[in-house]
Amino acid sequence: MNDQSPVRRAGGRSARREARSAKLADHLRPIKPGMQGGQYKPLSDIDVQKIHQAALTALETIGLNDAPPSGVQILTDAGAILGDDGRIRFPRALVEDALTKANREVVLHSRDGNNDLDLSGQRVHYGTAGAAVHLVDVAGNEYRESTVQDLHDAARICDVLDNISFVQRPMVCRDIPDNLEMDLNTIYACTSGTTKHVGTSFTEPGYVKHALEMLHQIAGGEDKWRERPFVSNSNCFVVPPMKFATEACEVMEACIAGGMPVLLLSAGMAGATAPSTIAGAITQATAECLAGLVYVNAIAPGHPAIFGTWPFGLDLRTGAMTVGSGEQALLSAGCAQMHAFYGLPGGAAGGASDSKMPDMQAGWEQMCSNVMAGLSGLNMVYEAAGMHASLLGFCHESLILGNDLIGQAMRCVRGIEVNDDTLALDQMAQVCMGGPGHYLGTEQTLGRMETDHVYPKLGDRTSPKEWVEIGKPVLAEKATARKEEILATRSAARFDAALDSAIRKRFNIHLPA
């Protein structure tokens, strides 16, 4: 359990009201990033062993093809076998050796050091991802192509949301046609919008050196960057089923050389590019990521890498993605169990929706997989807020509403503390034997009301009468107002004038100064 025993506060009721109106100190918060999950286990121990053994068999007998020449050399030098059919196969001993070398104490750094992510054990963190190509316009009930300004605004919003712990690029800058400039502006837009950890990808291997140059500028030098790399590479190093993505592997090699953490991302679609069964999709994703783990540790043993099993669900009637389905929630929860079995930091998808707008469908879909991912102990829950239309659309208002939703999911992850204080026998005796007959206003209730309970920032808990009296507020409209409030304030993450000028002098930055 995640023990959150309260610290007693002295003073009368008015003092407590005043204290509750202020932002809670971190040690008093009922929830916080990095709480331990793992309470939910959809797979039995025998199931986990079967998946593990099946993944090893797949690597040993099927293997992967299409590695770049550099990857073939790296992997065969490590002990992999290149067959006459061009497929690289992985002996069991080679995979087991890579598992012993893998980094199990990965920390993803933030730029200011205030939001570092400890990925050891089954610590849970929620954040964005998805590379959507559209922005959801709630007011117009329509979609439009996403821009670099939209991406920057998303990063700025994430920076002030307590329950969003990292910002992996949620949108593509569709207004920047040059791929190099798009990649560099993606980094600029995100890092100038938030000091939280940022994840991004690269179109071509040659672009990595330019990105590292920018990151060295932001960090204050290459040595400081390598000490605390605050941007990681989201790398689709495989094209399921069981093929390496040639250019992405070369990108990965360049990122490792540059000291950048990598997310080994396998994103097969169950029924299309992965087996249609949940167990089969998890097995293939596990095999592919184990191959990636061998690759990384053959280059640099212990390099920070995230085991990114991201199998997605598929509606077999239509061929459409079903990221908001119960099957998706089970896929990600099962993957989290495999990460825990290996003792590796891992990530998977959770919290995305197939719905086009932040409506009731979005709510049930986002909550289902976010709760199950957290309870299963998934270290990095990607796409946890803001993602719609089966990853095609991103919504600023939904991002803000997702902060509330994730707060409730995190409360589920925290679980139930059972001790003499929480069993409350002394309270029962005081209230029932000569007391008021209820627990409202008791010292214990008031003392724990903020350390035990998570309250939504925008969610409506008023009575129907109160709701009418305050003008019948609409949730999406409240989220829009909050968005405008955030974006009307200068970003605390913005670069100082000298650094910003130096970056703009070296790179073609599309955001206005």
pLDDT at 8 over 50: no
Which residues, including other chains, have CB under 8 Å from residue 21's CB and lie 6 or more apart?
none
Quick one: which of 297, 328, 334 has its CA closest to 313? 328
Q: What is the mean pLDDT of residues 269-274?
A: 97
Rg of the chain in Å (alpha carbons): 24
The pLDDT assigned to 5 comes to: 54
- Which DSSP string do the residues of 178-247 spell out, in sequence order? SHHHHHHHHHHHHHTT-SSEEEE--SSGGGHHHHHHHHHHHHTSHHHHHHS--EEEEE--B-SSSBB-HH
* Pairwise CA distance, residues 233 & 376, whole Å: 25
* Pairwise CA distance, residues 168 & 509, whole Å: 20
Q: What is the mean pLDDT of residues 418-423?
A: 94
Q: pLDDT by residue (tens digit) across 57-94? A: 999 999 999 999 999 999 999 999 999 999 999 999 99
Q: What is the mean pLDDT of residues 119-125?
A: 98
The pLDDT assigned to 447 comes to: 87
pLDDT at 441 over 70: yes
* Pairwise CA distance, residues 242 & 415, whole Å: 38
- Which DSSP string do the residues of 382-395 spell out, in sequence order? ET-SSEEGGGTEE-
Q: Which fold, 36-416+444-513?
A: TIM Barrel (3.20.20)
pTM: 0.95
Confidence bin at 27 (pLDDT 50/70/90): confident
The pLDDT assigned to 63 comes to: 98
- Measured between alpha carbons, how far is residue 380 from residues 122, 190, 453 in Å? 10, 18, 24
* Pairwise CA distance, residues 118 & 159, whole Å: 18
Confidence bin at 7 (pLDDT 50/70/90): very low
How many Å is the maximal CA-CA distance in the chain?
A: 86
Encoding tokens for residue 252? Answer: 């990965």
- Measured between alpha carbons, how far is residue 143 from residues 146, 237, 354, 489 in Å? 9, 30, 14, 26
Encoding tokens for residue 9? Answer: 């506060």
Domain ranges of the chain: 36-416+444-513
Q: What is the mean pLDDT of residues 380-387?
A: 98
